[in-house]
């Protein structure tokens, strides 16, 4: 399978000062995604942009022009980089792209192994793509299936392995850093810039350490107010946060601002020239909210998203031991997805085959009723049920072998044989030059939609469905 591809940059390929050049706000993501279907035949697309990665998932993904378009989108966002943006980008296709998303959602590819925030971030990105009013939907049948199964995989791995236990999420790392610097957190004043998921997680972690002093600076007052209430704090407009910075002990910045909110000059002015007591600044934003030079000031402990690598988690060994089991789950589900993907477009052929045989069954029953007019209604129902059961049993083995043949690369031969033997030349299925099912669903979109919820064994389950007619 090659109809899915991903082009991206992550903490594994680029430092934070480069990754922030690739970061998209929701508004920017909507703008880019809205125009993708007009470029190089892209039908489906989802753009993920978090602190640690920016990834563009594309379908179809087998055309080199489409991959080049994906790389161009990210490169245009990054702008001029010494050596070019391409040196930081990776591209994956087919099964590897499926495995990659499953690993990302499960926390296997995260900066902190097993962290849970990423699953919610990926879900938000998927929902954003699906909300864009374009036809067909960017979160179409293939990427819809891919992302929905990724959430199931992430949930299974976290529930069946210890990979997320004490995973040292960004929020818990914030608390550990604060303890190292201040010891007891009682009485400390905390300021949160932004009120998104990351900020909420930090507040919950601080709450467990009985921190009571909280200021939330955010442009959206209602959401900021709800966050502040958790620690009996208060909210202020974001443009007034510098006035409270001098009294702040811990600053957690996680906005989606496209530029730094606190410059070195801003900081020095707010501190009256220099900082007199320690301040922990945890800049979790991409692009960064706090200028890096502030970290060189006296009594300033500034950490960005890359710095959390240096925080050693006591449960790391236990979590690393669960990686093998987690990778097995990823591989099993990726292979299941591949089987579904490779057989999905054969459904119209199977439905046509069943329809042809079903019409013949009904025609022969009409003849039988004329010959056996004395049969009661109850007897007729028994005969009718028997004919359906017989048809299902006759269809089961051929349809199973048809699907297996397509998965094994024999799609062209098998489909040609079925069409010839059963006079189904009117069923127009597209195959590529290798005999594989194409990415196009075309006129069979409606049958696909009817069967998309049935799981990987589409034909087999559709037989059971029709047996209940």
Quick: pLDDT tens for 171-221. Answer: 777 787 888 898 888 888 889 898 666 666 677 677 667 676 788 888 877
pLDDT tens, 88-125?
999 999 999 999 999 999 999 988 788 888 898 999 99
Residue 451 has pLDDT above 50, yes or no: no
- Residues taking part in catalysis: 51
What pLDDT, on the 0 to 100 scale, is given for residue 45?
96
What pLDDT, on the 0 to 100 scale, is given for residue 274?
83
Q: Catalogue the long-range contacts made by 237-241 (C-beta closer than 8 Å, 24 or more residues apart).
A: 238/193, 241/191, 241/193, 241/215, 241/217
In angstroms, the CA 129 to CA 292 distance is 33
What pLDDT, on the 0 to 100 scale, is given for residue 168?
55
Strands (E), 264-359: 279-283, 300-304
pLDDT band at 170; cut points 50, 70, 90: low
What pLDDT, on the 0 to 100 scale, is given for residue 452?
34
Residue 72 has pLDDT above 80, yes or no: yes
What is the average per-residue pLDDT within 75-97? 94
What pLDDT, on the 0 to 100 scale, is given for residue 229?
76
In angstroms, the CA 163 to CA 322 distance is 6
Give the lowest-confidence range in 130-134, 178-182, 278-282, 407-411: 407-411
What pLDDT, on the 0 to 100 scale, is given for residue 3?
85
What pLDDT, on the 0 to 100 scale, is given for residue 446?
30
What pLDDT, on the 0 to 100 scale, is given for residue 411?
61
Smallest CA-to-CA distance from 85 within 39, 18, 10, 6 is with 18
pLDDT tens, 262-314?
999 999 999 988 888 999 998 888 889 999 999 999 999 999 877 766 664 55
What is the average per-residue pLDDT within 334-363? 83
In angstroms, the CA 429 to CA 412 distance is 10
Residue 453 has pLDDT above 50, yes or no: no
What pLDDT, on the 0 to 100 scale, is given for residue 380?
92
Which of the two residues, 300 and 423, has the higher pLDDT score?
300
SS3 373: coil
Rank 79-88, 193-202, 394-403 by mean pLDDT and report only the highest: 79-88
Q: Do 237 and 225 meet the contact criterion of CB atoms below 8 Å apart? A: no
Residue 438 has pLDDT above 50, yes or no: no
pLDDT band at 2; cut points 50, 70, 90: low
Which of the two residues, 9 and 1, has the higher pLDDT score?
9
Report pTM. Answer: 0.66
In angstroms, the CA 396 to CA 372 distance is 29
What pLDDT, on the 0 to 100 scale, is given for residue 313?
52
Residue 247 has pLDDT above 80, yes or no: yes
Residue 317 has pLDDT above 80, yes or no: no
State the chain's maximal CA–CA distance in angstroms: 105
SS3 312: coil
Rank 85-99, 195-209, 237-251, 424-438 by mean pLDDT and report only the highest: 85-99
What is the average per-residue pLDDT within 446-463? 35
What pLDDT, on the 0 to 100 scale, is given for residue 395?
84
What is the average per-residue pLDDT within 53-64? 92
Average pLDDT, the chain: 82
Q: Where are the alpha helices (DSSP H) in 79-169?
A: 95-106, 117-131, 141-160
pLDDT band at 398; cut points 50, 70, 90: confident
Residue 345 burial (10 A CB sphere; 0-12, 13-18, 19+): buried
What is the average per-residue pLDDT within 424-440? 47
SS3 280: strand
């Amino acid at each position: 399978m090659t109809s899915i591809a991903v082009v991206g940059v992550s903490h594994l390929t680029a430092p934070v000062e480069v990754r922030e050049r690739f970061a998209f706000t929701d508004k920017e993501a909507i703008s880019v995604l809205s125009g993708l279907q007009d470029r190089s035949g892209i039908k489906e697309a989802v753009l993920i942009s978090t602190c640690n990665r920016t990834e563009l998932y594309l379908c179809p993904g087998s055309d080199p022009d489409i991959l080049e378009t994906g790389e161009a989108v990210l490169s245009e966002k990054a702008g001029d980089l010494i050596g070019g943006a391409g040196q930081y980008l990776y591209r994956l296709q087919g099964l590897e792209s499926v495995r990659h998303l499953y690993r990302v959602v499960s926390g296997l590819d995260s900066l902190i192994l097993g962290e849970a925030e990423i699953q919610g971030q990926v879900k938000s990105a998927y929902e954003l793509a699906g909300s864009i009013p374009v036809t067909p939907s960017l979160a179409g049948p293939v990427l819809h299936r891919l992302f929905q199964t990724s959430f199931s995989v992430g949930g299974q791995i976290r529930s069946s392995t210890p990979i997320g236990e004490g995973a040292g999420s960004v929020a818990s790392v914030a608390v550990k850093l604060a303890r190292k610097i201040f010891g007891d957190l009682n009485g400390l004043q905390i300021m949160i810039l932004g009120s998104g998921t990351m900020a909420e997680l930090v507040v919950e972690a601080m709450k467990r350490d009985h921190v009571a002093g909280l200021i939330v600076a955010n442009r959206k007052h209602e959401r900021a107010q709800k966050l502040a209430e958790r620690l009996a704090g208060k909210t202020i407009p974001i443009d007034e946060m510098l006035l409270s910075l001098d009294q702040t002990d811990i600053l957690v910045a996680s906005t989606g601002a496209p530029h730094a909110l606190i410059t070195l000059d801003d900081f020095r002015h707010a501190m009256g020239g220099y900082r007199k007591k320690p301040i922990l600044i945890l800049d979790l934003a991409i692009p960064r909210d706090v200028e890096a030079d502030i970290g060189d000031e006296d009594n300033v402990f500034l950490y960005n998203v890359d710095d959390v690598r240096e925080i050693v988690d006591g449960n790391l060994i236990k979590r690393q031991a669960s990686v093998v089991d987690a990778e097995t789950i990823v591989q099993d589900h990726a292979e299941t997805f591949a089987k579904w993907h490779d057989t999905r477009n054969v459904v119209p052929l199977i439905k046509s085959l069943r329809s042809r045989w079903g019409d013949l069954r009904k025609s022969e029953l009409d003849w039988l009723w004329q010959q056996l007019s004395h049969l009661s209604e109850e007897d007729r129902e028994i005969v009718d049920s028997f004919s359906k059961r017989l048809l299902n049993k006759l269809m089961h083995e051929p349809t199973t072998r048809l699907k297996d043949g397509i998965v094994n690369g024999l799609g062209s031969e098998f489909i040609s044989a079925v069409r010839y033997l059963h006079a189904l030349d009117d069923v127009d299925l597209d195959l590529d030059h290798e005999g594989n099912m194409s990415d196009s669903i075309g006129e069979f979109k409606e049958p696909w939609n009817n069967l998309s919820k049935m799981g990987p064994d589409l034909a087999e389950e559709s037989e059971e469905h029709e047996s209940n007619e």
